[in-house]
Amino acid sequence: MDLRKVRKLIEIFNASNLSELEIHEGEDSIRLNRTLTVVADQTTVQSAAHLPSDVSQTLKDIDIDDDPADDDGTFAVLSPMVGTFFAAAAPTDDPFVKVGDEVSPGQPLCLIEAMKIFNQIEAERSGTVLKVLKQNGDPVEYGEPLVILSE
Amino acid sequence: MDLRKVRKLIEIFNASNLSELEIHEGEDSIRLNRTLTVVADQTTVQSAAHLPSDVSQTLKDIDIDDDPADDDGTFAVLSPMVGTFFAAAAPTDDPFVKVGDEVSPGQPLCLIEAMKIFNQIEAERSGTVLKVLKQNGDPVEYGEPLVILSE
Amino acid sequence: MIEKIVIANRGEIALRILRACRDLGIATVALHSEIDSEAKYVKLADESVCIGPAPAALSYLNIPAVIAAAEVTNASAIHPGYGFLAENAAFAEQVVQSGFVFIGPTPASIRTMGNKIEAIRTMEKAGLRCVPGSGGPLGDDLDEIRLQAEQIGYPILIKAAAGGGGKGLRLVQDESELENALALSQGESSLGFGDSTLYMEKFLNNPRHIEIQVLCDNFGNAVYLGDRDCSIQRRRQKLIEEAPAFGIPDHQRRELGERCVEACTEIGYLGAGTFEFLYDGQQFFFIEMNTRVQVEHTVTEYVTGIDIVKEQIRIAASQPLTITQDEVSITGHSIECRINAEHPSTLMPSPGVIHHYHPPGGPGVRIDSHIYTDYEITTHYDSLIAKVITYGSDRDEALARMQGALAELVIEGVDTTTALHQKILAKKKFRRGVVDINFLERSLGH
Amino acid sequence: MIEKIVIANRGEIALRILRACRDLGIATVALHSEIDSEAKYVKLADESVCIGPAPAALSYLNIPAVIAAAEVTNASAIHPGYGFLAENAAFAEQVVQSGFVFIGPTPASIRTMGNKIEAIRTMEKAGLRCVPGSGGPLGDDLDEIRLQAEQIGYPILIKAAAGGGGKGLRLVQDESELENALALSQGESSLGFGDSTLYMEKFLNNPRHIEIQVLCDNFGNAVYLGDRDCSIQRRRQKLIEEAPAFGIPDHQRRELGERCVEACTEIGYLGAGTFEFLYDGQQFFFIEMNTRVQVEHTVTEYVTGIDIVKEQIRIAASQPLTITQDEVSITGHSIECRINAEHPSTLMPSPGVIHHYHPPGGPGVRIDSHIYTDYEITTHYDSLIAKVITYGSDRDEALARMQGALAELVIEGVDTTTALHQKILAKKKFRRGVVDINFLERSLGH
């Protein structure tokens, strides 16, 4: 499955006024669904993106979750640079953090080495380490997730 | 999966007043659905992007006239070959037909000269000559209208 | 000079002719069937004329329609491209009789070369070695045919004089198969061409297909533009062509080229033409002559820098050749892959709409194609949709660029032969140049 | 040998480098900013690394990010393309110090040629004629500068030593304008480059821009690949380039080329480079040297058959040049039109989504472009979106093919300079080759 395509498809779907989209291709299929909340009596229901201006009902009544916040209470710490991931300051040291640790803002999470310089990556907010996505020596790109924290 | 096609399809769907569209092609299929939440009585349902603002009925009441038959009682006599148009058998002769003439099936309408051979173009059904579209010496393509008749 | 040319063809070759005319400042008239009316190359022409409905018999093969189109547009010449009416002597004759210039050889040359027996006799007389064979039509006397076959030596091939596309062609391994084979070929030939004349040739074991490109003007000048290898074929259809033919010693190429030029002078040939040979590793055996521009003229253009279609037009306009044999030099190597809208393994035609077309680019890459995004490929015409041609300072560089170009080529919506070409290009034997006309079918396990 | 190359650039030159690597069987790492991550050429690379957000300062100009990307991908060399870090001596130095091969000249060469005064001094010492001028930085003494200006002869140009893009450049017609001009240039230069050093040169009246392409290896071998004319410029940006430079007598071209090669040997130059000259119809005056591959390298490739980017890589891999000067031959003529996403008359950048891209094809047409249907052109980078390059056996044929190619080119969704190129190509003076660096602005009425 190509996640980029799925993401793109969701974008297209979101920008549309569809409530459902189903595609079968060979053995593959995908179904997107957006339940429109039922509105009370004696009202007008409209769903389109480009509503005429004299519509008697405002959009806010329609509960379309256009950009569903990925708000499951977790957030990722992204790499601010290209380099090599290190979980600890030295091979024999303990890692800065491990799963389950509570971290507070400014606390070091890992190192990214670039051009022989070790750059310390710190937590921006407090949380609990849910997952460390990289291992010692892993190459990381700019913007790649390193550590997942939960609030 | 071709995202552009999907996007295009949604555009077409949006511009239509359908509530559902399902296409099967070989093993592939796609289904678009726009559930108009059904509301209680005495309401207006609108779903499309470009609905006129004064629409006051439900979708099913809207008269779809997608392809209005071009049936204005006229028909064109098309050239069956490439060549040069001649309205008369000889430069000094009267033309075979002129506007307002009644013609019957088999009656010559004009000549098309191709490779020094003059091919007589005849009326296939009866009618009145509304218009002669070509003049002596005009080049004509295959399938080009020559004469317009009305029934 | 010629001022306006009618392009009596479609697809990539129509576009190719249009480009040559445009470079020469000659106006163009694109003829097209109803179904081709929206093609981009039709829009690029100065004028266009619809000459009939989609079936070729009613449009591109419709002689009165083509000539009438030239008349109504006041054109001065007609370029037939390849296929359709390109090797139809009667058409060439009518073009000339109607007062137009036919961009090609004389009707007599076309007629002679169209009959395989005539062609072989003519070329033998002109000094070219042909495949040992009956040297003429087979008679009715089976015993005499038996004797001839024995003299030639089995295995032999039975061929139809009016033949083409493999019809009437039959391999005979020994005398026991002869009588039955003759009967079958005769039936096929009379059914297929309305002419049951047969002839015999010695069957060569896995030869290469080598051809020589020539250009001849009205003033007795003739040159050859080197050779091409077109051994990569499937079902007698060329798939990959190269220039020069690798591994042929220079003196042999020169000798063969010179003999072809002599033959041209002998028969008074005019325009562009191709002598086709089988090569058994030692000797060249003439098999036929094509009296038109060929699909694979592009690779010769790349290694010589000579625009063959422009030369055809100049010759037809009674201009002397602009180049002498001394000025023809072969530099580097060029390869062409014919991309067909076909399934890469079954080779079943794949009509449909191309919903994304993106051709490759960069150094040493030439694309000849009439398709574009949203173009519809119908079942009415042949399946060639793009020619990818690469050039390199040597064969390795040309091969590397071809692999790169095929990797970049995007044609979505229909099946294409791209994957088959990639498969061939990856084969070590092919890369080493160890090929023959049966290479592809053998290596694909057919 | 080099096994994996980091392409530290974007757009058409990134694709160009990728193609060269692919032909050589070298793995590629495409570096890209966040906004370029979906580009087709990025997908064509064996690996890709996102090195930062869209602004070039944070990605393509981010030296630690580029070097770190080479480290994490275990690459052996870095190709900087043109622009961005290509002529940054500090970058070249760090690349080398980090243990990678820098595909280009030594940091010292880059540094010398980066300072215009240094470059001119070096080349004068190496025997090249430079534009008569101050021969060094101007002092503080206005009277002395006045004297120098008088000796050079008005009109003169005041230039910034660290200059580029016209900043600090000022034309002085006579002595009365001198003082004010010096003050203005000094201000611009210190503001623009943090360096207020100025120098003076004689102003040439409507000269042509002629340049010589060189290649030098590690073994003391150096060759020149003929010349180019790049006189068609607007706001100091080249728009059309040609090879060879028409109308230059062969012996003058040879003499100039040989002198460039000598200069290369003198200064120990390595890799591909370009000597830029002004030509007043009689003499060549050295103005600067570009220590990288140039946008217009393509036209030299077409007329020499030499792949300049491949040669750069081979040289960087410490291989000796594969060609000697005797083997370099110029055949035919080539022209390049730079298609920018700009309004053809205002030259305002035109960002947007290309909703239909269809490049031209056929004989003698090469396209170098990274765009495709649905590609988005942002405002972050320069506006060059396609190079259309044509070849012909002579300049007329190359011109005709360029006009044909531009007529076939389809780029919908953004404005492009195509119409401007068509306008230039239609001008009689241009067709006759009567051009100079002010031709375009003059003929457009600016």
Q: Do B2 and C355 make contact, defined as CB atoms within 8 angstroms?
A: yes
- Gap between the Cα atoms of D433 and D425, Å rounded: 11
End-to-end CA distance of chain D: 52
- What one-letter code names the amino acid at C181? A
Residue ranges of E strands in D27-111: 27-33, 47-52, 77-79, 101-102
- Gap between the Cα atoms of B35 and B37, Å rounded: 6
Confidence of residue B57 (pLDDT cuts 50, 70, 90): very low
- What one-letter code names the amino acid at C312? Q
**D69 contacts on A by Cβ (under 8 Å):** 82
Residue A59: predicted pLDDT: 31
Residue D445: predicted pLDDT: 64
Average pLDDT, chain B: 73
Nearest to D381 by CA among D12, D131, D114, D1: D12
Instruction: Locate the chain C residue with the closest alpha carbon to D24.
Output: C400
What is the CB neighbour count within 10 angstroms for residue A3? 7
Residue B48: predicted pLDDT: 33
ipTM of the shown complex:
0.75
Nearest to D208 by CA among D438, D440, D441, D442: D438
Chains with 3 or more CB pairs under 8 A to chain B: A, C
CA–centroid distance for A75 within its chain: 8
Q: Do A84 and D67 make contact, defined as CB atoms within 8 angstroms?
A: no
| Beta-bridge partners for C367 | C388
Residue that is written with structure tokens 């395989």 in the block = C116
End-to-end CA distance of chain C: 52
* Segment-wise mean pLDDT, segments of 10 residues, chain D, 446 residues: 95 98 97 95 96 95 96 96 96 96 97 91 92 88 93 92 76 92 88 86 94 97 98 92 96 96 95 97 94 98 97 97 95 97 90 96 98 95 96 97 98 96 96 93 74
**D368 contacts on C by Cβ (under 8 Å):** 361-362
Q: How far is C278 from chain D (nearest CA, A)?
A: 29
- Gap between the Cα atoms of C389 and C397, Å rounded: 12
Q: Quick check: A100 and A128 in contact, CB under 8 A?
A: yes
Residue A90: predicted pLDDT: 87
Confidence of residue B1 (pLDDT cuts 50, 70, 90): low
For A21-60, how does the pLDDT look when each residue is reduced to its tens digit (9 = 90+)?
A: 777 766 667 777 765 433 333 333 333 333 333 333 333 3
Q: How far is CA C51 from CA C4, C15, C23, D179, D257, in A?
A: 18, 17, 26, 76, 57
3-state secondary structure of C248: coil
The sheet carrying D77-79 orders its strands as D47-52, D27-33, D4-7, D77-79, D101-102
Higher pLDDT, C189 or D128: D128
- Gap between the Cα atoms of C16 and C22, Å rounded: 10
- Gap between the Cα atoms of A63 and C421, Å rounded: 54
Q: Which two tokens stand for residue B17?
A: 């007043």
Which pairs with CB-CB distance under 8 Å and at least 24 residues apart come from C89-95? C89/C114, C90/C63, C91/C63, C91/C66, C94/B115, C94/C63, C94/C67, C95/C67, C95/C70
| Beta-bridge partners for A84 | A113, A139
Residue A4: predicted pLDDT: 54
Higher pLDDT, B50 or D243: D243
Residue D122: predicted pLDDT: 92
For C84-106, how does the pLDDT look when each residue is reduced to its tens digit (9 = 90+)?
A: 999 999 999 999 999 999 999 99
Q: How many CA atoms lie within 13 A of C65 on its CB side?
A: 28
Nearest to C294 by CA among C212, C381, C349, C221: C212
Nearest to C334 by CA among C443, C435, C243, C227: C243
**C356 contacts on D by Cβ (under 8 Å):** 373
| Beta-bridge partners for B32 | A21, B21
- Gap between the Cα atoms of B14 and A19, Å rounded: 12
Whether the pLDDT of residue C263 is over 80: the answer is yes
Residue D162: predicted pLDDT: 79
Whether the pLDDT of residue C375 is over 60: the answer is yes
For C59-73, how does the pLDDT look when each residue is reduced to its tens digit (9 = 90+)?
A: 999 999 999 999 999
Among the partner-chain residues D34, D68, D98, the one whose CB lies closest to the CB of A143 is D34
Residue ranges of E strands in D291-394: 333-340, 352-353, 356-358, 365-368, 376-377, 384-392
In 3-state terms chain A splits into helix, strand, coil percentages (rounded to 5) of 10, 35, 55
Nearest to C41 by CA among D367, D361, D368: D361
Whether the pLDDT of residue B41 is over 70: the answer is no
Lowest-pLDDT range, B112-116, C324-328, C419-423, D213-217? B112-116
Four-CA torsion A125, A127, A133, A138, nearest 10 degrees: 50
Whether the pLDDT of residue B59 is over 50: the answer is no
Q: Which two tokens stand for residue C172?
A: 């005979």
Instruction: Locate the chain B residue with the closest alpha carbon to C73.
Output: B139
Q: Do D72 and A139 make contact, defined as CB atoms within 8 angstroms?
A: yes
Q: Do C356 and B117 make contact, defined as CB atoms within 8 angstroms?
A: no
Percent of chain C with pLDDT strictly greater than 70 = 99
Higher pLDDT, C391 or A26: C391
**D49 contacts on A by Cβ (under 8 Å):** 82, 139, 141-142
Q: Which two tokens stand for residue C213?
A: 């490109």
What is the CB neighbour count within 10 angstroms for residue C66? 31
State yes or no: cis peptide before D155, omega within 30 of 0.
yes
Q: What is the pTM of this model?
A: 0.83
Residue that is written with structure tokens 């700019």 in the block = A142
- Gap between the Cα atoms of A80 and C28, Å rounded: 60
Higher pLDDT, B151 or C103: C103
- Gap between the Cα atoms of A50 and A128, Å rounded: 43
Q: Which two tokens stand for residue C204?
A: 């060569």
Confidence of residue C446 (pLDDT cuts 50, 70, 90): very low
| Beta-bridge partners for C86 | none
Whether the pLDDT of residue B70 is over 80: the answer is no
For A90-111, how does the pLDDT look when each residue is reduced to its tens digit (9 = 90+)?
A: 888 999 999 999 999 999 999 9
| Sequence spans of domains, chain B | 3-33, 44-150
Q: How far is CA C445 from CA B25, C382, C438, D183, in A?
A: 33, 25, 11, 81
Lowest-pLDDT range, A23-32, A130-139, C218-227, D2-11? A23-32
Average pLDDT of span C308-321: 97
Residue B29: predicted pLDDT: 76
For C409-438, how does the pLDDT look when each residue is reduced to its tens digit (9 = 90+)?
A: 999 999 999 999 999 999 999 999 999 999
Residue B25: predicted pLDDT: 67
Q: Do D369 and C361 make contact, defined as CB atoms within 8 angstroms?
A: yes
> Under an 8 Å CB criterion, which residues of C touch D?
15-16, 19, 22-25, 40, 44, 298, 301, 305-307, 331-332, 356-359, 361-369, 372-373, 393, 397, 400-401, 403-404, 407-408, 410
**A21 contacts on B by Cβ (under 8 Å):** 6, 10, 30-33
Residue D195: predicted pLDDT: 85
Residue A66: predicted pLDDT: 34
Whether the pLDDT of residue A70 is over 90: the answer is no
**B83 contacts on C by Cβ (under 8 Å):** 68, 71-72
Residue ranges of E strands in C70-185: 77-79, 101-102, 156-160, 170-172
Residue A51: predicted pLDDT: 32
What is the CB neighbour count within 10 angstroms for residue A35? 12
Q: How far is B109 from chain C (nearest CA, A)?
A: 20
Q: Do A42 and B42 make contact, defined as CB atoms within 8 angstroms?
A: yes
- What one-letter code names the amino acid at D434? V
Largest Cα–Cα separation, chain D: 62
User: Domains plus CATH for chain C?
Assistant: 4-103 (3.40.50.20), 132-202 (3.30.1490.20), 208-444 (3.30.470.20)
Helix then strand count (H, E) for chain B reads 1, 10
Nearest to C131 by CA among C108, C159, C165, C170: C159
Residue ranges of E strands in C156-249: 156-160, 170-172, 198-202, 208-216, 222-234, 237-243
CATH number of the A44-150 domain: 2.40.50.100
3-state secondary structure of D372: coil
Q: Rounded to 5 degrees, what are φ and ψ at D203?
A: -90, 125
Residue D206: predicted pLDDT: 93
Average pLDDT, chain C: 94
Number of residues in chain D: 446
Contacts of D243 (CB under 8 A, 6+ apart): D226, D227, D228, D229, D299, D300, D302, D303, D330, D333, D334
Whether the pLDDT of residue A14 is over 80: the answer is no
Q: Do D361 and C372 make contact, defined as CB atoms within 8 angstroms?
A: no
- The verdict on A118 touching D (C-beta cutoff 8 Å) is no
β-pair type (C333-340, C356-358):
unpaired
- The verdict on C94 touching B (C-beta cutoff 8 Å) is yes
> Under an 8 Å CB criterion, which residues of A touch B?
5, 8-9, 12-13, 16-28, 36-50, 52, 54-55
For the question of residue C208 being annotated catalytic, the response is no
Percent of chain C with pLDDT strictly greater than 90 = 86
End-to-end CA distance of chain B: 50
Q: How many CA atoms lie within 13 A of C395 on its CB side?
A: 14
- Gap between the Cα atoms of D375 and B141, Å rounded: 40
